[in-house]
Amino acid sequence: MYRIVSKKILNPTVTQMEIEAPRVANKARPGQFIILRVDGEGERIPLTVAGVDRDAGTVKIIFQVVGATTELLNHMEEDDSLADFVGPLGVPTHTEGIKKVCIVGGGVGCAIAMPVAQEFHRLGAEVTSIIGFRSKDLLILEDEFRECSYRLVVMTDDGSYARQGNVTVPLKEMLEAGERFDMIITIGPLVMMKFVTLAAKPFGVPVTVSMNPIMIDGTGMCGGCRLTLVRDGKRITKFACVDGPDFNGYEVDFDEAMSRGRMYHYFERRAHEAVCNLFREVR
């Protein structure tokens, strides 16, 4: 069993937890993820490692309440325990030789982008961070990004905080002004990562995207997390859990990934509603 050491509400739909998992904490690196189950009857869900404290033996996770399992998880409190907490899984984010990097995060994807930005900062790279949210109420981790960034730009779609617009606006401004990065790393909604990639393409800057498709076993056996890459005119199948989650943004078939991501939306919504109704009946 894996004890919840701390719980913090970051915004109305996003929660941060620290989980006691010494072995995972000892091995996890930025970009990797874990798979957890709330209880022995629950489904397996992947969540990116949002930070570790190796001395305390804890792993930080940040999740958005969007489905049945995240709803159940959000109702757990400090000192409750999770049934399973498996990891670290996936390939860590590549950092070698990168001296100037632009991190572009959107929404809850900023929880994944933050430890990556912190790692580059620790390694001495110059970090520019661009983070975007629909509104001020959904803003998370601004202080953490500011601490590890040479430059931070915050965007909101509705203009309720900082600059109005999406994350591609300041990115394009920087690139058009002659700014050059060794790498752009973008993490967030698929449509956002697609347009960040398109914005960078005319300037030839390498783009890494972090993919989070449907995932079950985390070992590549189920095939649920398969992605299509287009490389040298050939379509190649990869698995996000073992080959990723980071991929070359210029190779990802985003339209197919978005279509696959919507496949179970109806069932997820119904399951979420059932869990919410259960808690209402309990109350």
Label residue 77 exposed, middle or buried (CB < 10 Å: 0-12, 13-18, 19+). Answer: exposed
Percent of the chain with pLDDT over 70: 93
Task: Select from 81, 2, 72 the least CA-distant residue to 278.
Answer: 72
Q: Does 281 have pLDDT greater than 70? A: no
The C-alpha atoms of residue 67 and residue 268 are separated, in whole angstroms, by: 6
pLDDT value, residue 267: 56
Let me know whether 163 and 206 are in one domain: yes
Task: Answer with the one of 161, 179, 210 that is the final residue of a domain.
Answer: 210
Q: Does 207 have pLDDT greater than 90? A: yes
Task: Answer with the one of 160, 184, 210 that is the final residue of a domain.
Answer: 210
Question: Which of the four pLDDT bands, split at 50, 70 and 90, describes residue 272?
Answer: low
CATH number (domain holding residue 43): 2.40.30.10
State the helix-helix crossing angle for 168-176 and 190-200, rounded to 10 degrees: 10
pLDDT value, residue 263: 65
**How far are the Cα atoms of 38, 70, 90, 187 from residue 272, in angstroms, in the given order?**
15, 9, 27, 25
The more confident residue out of 1 and 197 is 197
The C-alpha atoms of residue 71 and residue 148 are separated, in whole angstroms, by: 31
Q: Within a domain: residue 238?
A: no
Q: What's the average model confidence in pLDDT over 240-250?
A: 93
Q: Does 201 have pLDDT greater than 60? A: yes
The C-alpha atoms of residue 49 and residue 27 are separated, in whole angstroms, by: 11
Q: Within a domain: residue 240?
A: no
Let me know whether 98 and 83 are in one domain: no
Q: Within a domain: residue 216?
A: no
pTM above 0.85, yes or no: yes
Q: State the Cα angle at 132 between 129 and 134, rounded to 5°.
A: 170
Range of the domain at 193: 93-210
Task: Select from 180, 138, 142 the least CA-distant residue to 160.
Answer: 138
Contact 89, 218 (CB under 8 A): yes
**Which residues lie across from 46 on neighbouring strands?**
35
Least confident piece of the model among 82-96, 205-219, 239-253: 205-219
pLDDT value, residue 271: 59
Let me know whether 75 and 103 are in one domain: no
Task: Answer with the one of 176, 210, 244 that is the final residue of a domain.
Answer: 210
Let me know whether 39 and 99 are in one domain: no
Q: Within a domain: residue 7?
A: yes
Q: What's the average model confidence in pLDDT over 184-192?
A: 95
Let me know whether 115 and 190 are in one domain: yes
Total number of domains constituting the chain: 2
Let me know whether 119 and 182 are in one domain: yes
Let me know whether 76 and 10 are in one domain: yes
Let me know whether 124 and 181 are in one domain: yes
- Model pLDDT for residues 119-155, shown as the tens digit of each residue: 999 999 999 999 999 999 999 999 999 999 999 999 9
